[in-house]
C-alpha cells in the first residue's frame, strides 16, 4: 500500500494491509491468534487479510456464484463489494418470485454513522425496494453491555443512525425500526432462544470467560432474537447484511433456529440413525443394490454391509462420495447390525421439541406408508421437500415458530483513508456522514492512494487501483449506480492516464456533493423521525454501562 499524505507520493515500507488495524472503539484485547489469522470476532479488531480464507475456513459462499440469480443486483453486488454469503439462494428466489422475504441489520450506536455503515443502509434499502420486509435496529443493549456506552451517548448516536437510514431512502411506513431495549417481543424471543444456548458455546464461539459480564451474554441472545425477529409473524427467507466479523453470530443464529424447530427432517435408509457422512455413503451403496442383493427390490442391510466391507479404493472412488475409513467402518457396522432388515430410502421426522399433540398430528398428516417409532416417524412416500413443508405446517399449527434458517451477505470492509481499517475511533481514517462537506473534501484530498512515486512512473506503470482507498471511494460510493464511470476510473488509473492529484480532486468534489446532499436529506426527514414509533430517549438514563 502506498501513502501520499502530500505529493510527491512515496512507497510505504511494507504491506500495511495485512496488519491488524486499531480496534474499532472496542475494549477487547487483541486476539492472541496473530494478525494474519482470519479470526472472525464480532468485538475484536480483525482486519481481513485474505478474503479467500473465509470461503475455505468458514464455509462462506462466494457471492459471484449467486449473482446471476439476483434480480436487478445492486452495484455493491455487481462490483464484488458484497463478496460473500451464507445460503442467500432462498432470498434471491423469493425476490425473483415476488414471495415473502425479509432483510434486517443492526447498528451499535457507539459513534457517528460513517460511509462504511452506508453500505449496510444501502443493502437494507435495496432489499426493501425489491419487496422484502425491512428492519433496522439500534443495538443499544449491546453498546451498553459490550462497549460500555452510557444511555445518553447511545441516544445521541441512535438518532444519527436513524436519520441517515431514513435520508438514504428507508421507508418507515413499510419497514420497521426499533431499539433492542424497548422491544418487549424481542426480549421474549431472546429469552426463549437463550434456553437453547449454553455457556460453553459462548466460550467456544466468542471466547467468553469467567470475566465476561452477564449482560454482554444477554446482548448475544438479543442479537440472535434480532436475526429471527422478522419471522415472528411467519417464517420467511431473511437476509442479514453485515461485515464478515458478524459471521459467528449468523452461524449461531442458524443453529438456534434449527434447535427451536419441533421436528428435524432427515433422510434414512433403515430404522437406525446415520450421520451425514454415513448417510451419503449408504445412499451410494443403496444405488448399487443390483450388485449384491439377492432380491434387488429388497436389498438387505447385511448384504450391503458385506459388499461395502470388501470394496477396494478404486471401487470406493467410483461410488462418488468422499469416504474415510472411520465412516466406512461405522457404516459397515451399522449395516451388519441391521441384519435382514431391508434397505429402503425414506424421510425421517425426528421429534426435537414437539408436544405430544403436535407429534400425533404429524403422524396423522403423513400420506402413504409410514412407520412410527418412539422419537421419530418414517415416511416412505414423501420426498424431502414435501416433508420439510409438512413439518413446518404442523409446527405452525401447534404454536411453533417454524423458523427458516437465516441467510447473510457479507461486504468488504472499507480501507481507511489513511490505510488500515476504516475505524470510527480514528477520524482521519473515515468520513462520517455528519462531517462538514468541506472536511469531507479535505479528508479525501489527504487520503492515501495506490499511486506511484512520481508522475512519470505512474504514466509508465499505471496506478494500483486495487490497493487504493480513493478508488474504493469511487467503487463503493461515489460512482453510485454508474458502472461505466467506476470502470473508467479504474481503467484510466491502471492504464497510467489518470494521476492521483486530479483523481483525488474529482473524488473530493464528489464527496463534498454527496455530504451536502445527504445532510440536506437528513434535515428533511427529521420530522418523519419524530413521528415514528421509536423512542429517541432511553428510559434508562443514569444507569451505568457494563465494562468488559
Ligand atoms: N453486533 C452488531 C454490531 O456489532 C449489531 C447488531 C445487533 C446486529 N443485532 C444485529 C447486526 C442483528 C445484524 C443483525 O454492529
Ligand atoms: Fe491515484 Fe486515483 Fe489511481 Fe488511486 S485511483 S491510484 S488516487 S489515480
Q: Which ligand is nearest to the CA of 503?
A: 2
The residue whose CB lies within 8 Å of the most ligand 1 atoms, and thus the one to mutate among 86, 103, 108, 225, is 108
Query: In this structure, which ligand is nearest to the CA of 499?
Result: 2
Tell me, what's the pLDDT at 323? 85
Q: Which ligand is nearest to the CA of 448?
A: 2
C-alpha cell at 168: 438514504
Among 1, 445, 453, 465, which residue has the most ligand 2 atoms within 8 Å of its CB, making it the best to mutate?
Answer: 465
Model pLDDT, residue 241: 98
Q: Is 378 helix (H, G, I), strand (E, B) or coil?
A: strand
Q: CB 184: neighbour CB atoms within 10 A?
A: 7
221 Cα–ligand 1 center, Å: 11
- CA 244–ligand 1 middle distance (angstroms): 11
Phi/psi region, residue 98 (left: phi>0; alpha: psi -120 to 50; beta: rest), is left
Closest CA to 253 of 458, 441, 105, 397: 105
Pocket of ligand 2, candidates 415, 455, 471: which has the most ligand atoms within 8 Å of its Cβ, to mutate? 471
pLDDT tens sequence across 343-368: 999 999 999 999 999 999 999 999 99
DSSP state of 497: -
For residue 237, pLDDT beyond 90: yes
CA–centroid distance, 497 to ligand 2, in Å, is 10
In this structure, which ligand is nearest to the CA of 455? 2
Indicate which residue's Cα is closest to atom 11 of ligand 1.
106
Distance 8 CA to ligand 2 centre (A): 13
The secondary structure of 234-273 as a DSSP string is S---EEEEE-GGGHHHHHHHHHHHHHT-SEEEEEESSSS-
- What ligand 2 atom has the least distance to the C-alpha of 447? 7
Residue with cell 425496494: 129
Ligand 2 atom with the smallest distance to the CA of 504 is 7
The confidence score (pLDDT) of residue 419 equals: 87
Tell me, in angstroms, the distance from the centre of ligand 2 to residue 38's CA. Answer: 28
Spacing of C-alpha 182 from chain mean position:
25
Q: Residue 37 — pLDDT band, cuts 50, 70, 90? A: low
pLDDT at 1: 35
Q: Mean pLDDT across the stretch 470-494?
A: 97
Paired strand residues for 238: 102
Q: Is 242 in the pocket of ligand 1 (CB under 6 A)?
A: yes
Whole-number average pLDDT of the chain: 90
* Structure confidence at residue 423 (pLDDT): 81
**Is the pTM here over 0.85, yes or no?**
yes
Interacting residues of 390 by C-beta distance below 8 A, sequence separation 6+: 362, 365, 366, 382
Cell of 16: 500495511
Average pLDDT, stretch 295-322?
93
Assign 3-state DSSP to the chain and report helix, strand, coil percentages, each to 5. 50, 10, 40
Question: Which has the higher per-residue pLDDT, 10 or 484?
Answer: 484
Pick the atom of ligand 1 nearest to 108's CA.
15
- Is residue 39 within 8 Å of 31, Cβ to Cβ? yes
- C-alpha 490 to ligand 2 mean position (Å): 8
Is residue 227 within 6 Å of ligand 1 at its C-beta? yes
- State the pLDDT at residue 32: 33
- Ligand 1 lined by 183 (C-beta under 6 Å): no
Angle, CA 157 vertex, CA 155 and CA 161 arms, to 5°: 115
Residue tagged 475505524 (cell numbers): 423
Show the cell assigned to 240.
Answer: 442479514
pLDDT at 18: 30
Beta carbon of 140 within 6 Å of any ligand 1 atom = no
Handedness of CA 201, 203, 204, 206 (dihedral sign): positive
Confidence of residue 503 (pLDDT cuts 50, 70, 90): very high
Beta bridge partners of 263: 351
Is the link from the previous residue into 402 a cis peptide, with omega within 30 of 0? no
* 118, 433 Cβ separation under 8 angstroms: yes
Closest atom of ligand 2 relative to the 464 alpha carbon: 6
State the chain's maximal CA–CA distance in angstroms: 84
CA of 139 to the centre of ligand 1 (A): 6
Cβ(180)–Cβ(226) below 8 Å: yes
Confirm or reject: Cβ of 408 under 6 Å from ligand 1.
Answer: no
**What is the structure's pLDDT at 545?**
78
Asked if residue 112 lies in contact with residue 432, where contact means CB atoms within 8 angstroms, the answer is yes
Q: How confident is the model at residue 547 (pLDDT cuts 50, 70, 90)?
A: low
**Which residues partner with 420 through β-bridges?**
none
Q: What is the mean pLDDT of residues 317-328?
A: 89
Q: How many residues does the chain have?
A: 548
DSSP assignment of 78-111:
HTTSEEEEES-HHHHHHHHHT---EEEEEE--SS
Protein residues whose CB sits closer than 6 Å to any atom of ligand 2: 449-451, 463-465, 468, 470-471, 493, 498, 500, 503-504
> Ligand 1 pocket, 193 CB below 6 A?
no
102 lines ligand 1 (CB under 6 A): no
Name the strands in the sheet holding 176-179, side by side, starting at the edge strand that comes first in the sequence. 61-62, 82-86, 407-411, 238-242, 102-107, 133-138, 176-179
Q: H or E stretch including 194?
A: helix 184-194
Amino acid at each position: 500500500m502506498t501513502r501520499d499524505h502530500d505529493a510527491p507520493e512515496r512507497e510505504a515500507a511494507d504491506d500495511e494491509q495485512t496488519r491488524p488495524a486499531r480496534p474499532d472503539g472496542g475494549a477487547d484485547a487483541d486476539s492472541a491468534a496473530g494478525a494474519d489469522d482470519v479470526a472472525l470476532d464480532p468485538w475484536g479488531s480483525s482486519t481481513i487479510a485474505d478474503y479467500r480464507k473465509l470461503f475455505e475456513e468458514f464455509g462462506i459462499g462466494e457471492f459471484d456464484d449467486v449473482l446471476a440469480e439476483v434480480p436487478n443486483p445492486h452495484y455493491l453486488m455487481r462490483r464484488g463489494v458484497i463478496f460473500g454469503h451464507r445460503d442467500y439462494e432462498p432470498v434471491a428466489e423469493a425476490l425473483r418470485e415476488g414471495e415473502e422475504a425479509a432483510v434486517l441489520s443492526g447498528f451499535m450506536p457507539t459513534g457517528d454513522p460513517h460511509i462504511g455503515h452506508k453500505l449496510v443502509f444501502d443493502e437494507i434499502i435495496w432489499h426493501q425496494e425489491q419487496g422484502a420486509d425491512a428492519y433496522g435496529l439500534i443495538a443499544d443493549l449491546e453498546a451498553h453491555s459490550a462497549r460500555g456506552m452510557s444511555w445518553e451517548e447511545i441516544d445521541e448516536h441512535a438518532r444519527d443512525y436513524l436519520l441517515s437510514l431514513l435520508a438514504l431512502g428507508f421507508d418507515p411506513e413499510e419497514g420497521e425500526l426499533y431499539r433492542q431495549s424497548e422491544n418487549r417481543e424481542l426480549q421474549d424471543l431472546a429469552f426463549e432462544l437463550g434456553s437453547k444456548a449454553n455457556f460453553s458455546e459462548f466460550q467456544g464461539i466468542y471466547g467468553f470467560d469467567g470475566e465476561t459480564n452477564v449482560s454482554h451474554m444477554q446482548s448475544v441472545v438479543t442479537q440472535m432474537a434480532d436475526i429471527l425477529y422478522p419471522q415472528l409473524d411467519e417464517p420467511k427467507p431473511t437476509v442479514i447484511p453485515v461485515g464478515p466479523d458478524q459471521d459467528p453470530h449468523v452461524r449461531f443464529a442458524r443453529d438456534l433456529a434449527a434447535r427451536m424447530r419441533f421436528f428435524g427432517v432427515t433422510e434414512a435408509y433403515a430404522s437406525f440413525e446415520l450421520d451425514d457422512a454415513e448417510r451419503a455413503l449408504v445412499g451410494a451403496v443403496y444405488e448399487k443394490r443390483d450388485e449384491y442383493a439377492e432380491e434387488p427390490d429388497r436389498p438387505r442391510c447385511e448384504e450391503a454391509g458385506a459388499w461395502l466391507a470388501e470394496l477396494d479404493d478404486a471401487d470406493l472412488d467410483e461410488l462418488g462420495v468422499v469416504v474415510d475409513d472411520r465412516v466406512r467402518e461405522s457404516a459397515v457396522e451399522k449395516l451388519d447390525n441391521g441384519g435382514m432388515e431391508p434397505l429402503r430410502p425414506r424421510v425421517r421426522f425426528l421429534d426435537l421439541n414437539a408436544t405430544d399433540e403436535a407429534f400425533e398430528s404429524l403422524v396423522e398428516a403423513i400420506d402413504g406408508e409410514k412407520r412410527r417409532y418412539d422419537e421419530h416417524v418414517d415416511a416412505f412416500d414423501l420426498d424431502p421437500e414435501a416433508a420439510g413443508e409438512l413439518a413446518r405446517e404442523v409446527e405452525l399449527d401447534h404454536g411453533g415458530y417454524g423458523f427458516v434458517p437465516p441467510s447473510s451477505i457479507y461486504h468488504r470492509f472499507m480501507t481507511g483513508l489513511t490505510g488500515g481499517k476504516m475505524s470510527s475511533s480514528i477520524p482521519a481514517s473515515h468520513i462520517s456522514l455528519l462531517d462538514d462537506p468541506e472536511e469531507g473534501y479535505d479528508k479525501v484530498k489527504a487520503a492515501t492512494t495506490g499511486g506511484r512515486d512520481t508522475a512519470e512512473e505512474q504514466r509508465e506503470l499505471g496506478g494500483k487501483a486495487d490497493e487504493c482507498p480513493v478508488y474504493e471511494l469511487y467503487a463503493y460510493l461515489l460512482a453510485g449506480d454508474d458502472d461505466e464511470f467506476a470502470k473508467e476510473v479504474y481503467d484510466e488509473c491502471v492504464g497510467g492516464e489518470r494521476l492521483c492529484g486530479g483523481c483525488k480532486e474529482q473524488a473530493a468534489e464528489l464527496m463534498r456533493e454527496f455530504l451536502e446532499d445527504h445532510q440536506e436529506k437528513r434535515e428533511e426527514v427529521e420530522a418523519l423521525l419524530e413521528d415514528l414509533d421509536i423512542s429517541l430517549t432511553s428510559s434508562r438514563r443514569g444507569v451505568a454501562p457494563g465494562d468488559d
